[in-house]
Amino acid sequence: MLLVTQRFGILGALALAISGLYPMHFLALHSFFSTCLYILLGTAFAFSVAALRYYPTCSIWLLIVGASTALVAMLYGFFHMVTVLEWVTTALFLCYLGLLGAETNRLSSETMDRPTTTVSR
């Protein structure tokens, strides 16, 4: 699942770059790649939530934020005419990525703090 997340994330990043190359003057191309961006990143986030669901110490609130981000991103990708939803989706993208980074940092520091071997005599 993480490999699928990475692939969709890379394709979403490419769609972001191509969408930036076509400004609003080329509305049809910009809109197409913008739609691809939201659908691809929404799919990547959905697979990341599915992969994190099996990690026992991952917080449930992070999964809820990730799932809602994926859902809103996919809805915006399909119904691309609601401009306010673009800003909500972008804010959710940034929040989910920030929270995912903080949660990953917390989980990795907990792993590093645990002793790996115990010797008792």
More confident residue, 72 or 118: 72
Domain that holds residue 52: 2-108
Which amino acid, 110?
E
Q: Could you tell me if residue 121 is inside a domain?
A: no
47, 13 Cβ separation under 8 angstroms? no
Does residue 119 surpass a pLDDT of 60? no
Q: pLDDT digit string (tens) for 61-81?
A: 889 999 998 888 888 877 777
Q: Could you tell me if residue 116 is inside a domain?
A: no
For helices 83-113 and 60-78, what crossing angle results, to 10°?
150
Q: Could you tell me if residue 18 is inside a domain?
A: yes
Q: pLDDT digit string (tens) for 7-66?
A: 998 998 898 888 888 777 777 887 888 888 888 888 998 999 998 888 888 888 889 999
Q: Could you tell me if residue 16 is inside a domain?
A: yes
Return the residue matching tokens 């699942």.
1
39, 1 Cβ separation under 8 angstroms? no
Cα diameter, the chain: 75
Pull the structure tokens for residue 57. Answer: 């110490």
Does residue 4 surpass a pLDDT of 60? yes
Helix and strand numbers, DSSP H then E, in the chain: 4, 0
Q: Could you tell me if residue 115 is inside a domain?
A: no
Q: Could you tell me if residue 117 is inside a domain?
A: no
Spatial CB neighbours of 40, under 8 Å, sequence gap ≥ 6? 8, 9, 11, 12, 15
Number of domains, the chain: 1
Q: Could you tell me if residue 32 is inside a domain?
A: yes
pTM above 0.95, yes or no: no
19, 34 Cβ separation under 8 angstroms? yes
Q: Could you tell me if residue 119 is inside a domain?
A: no
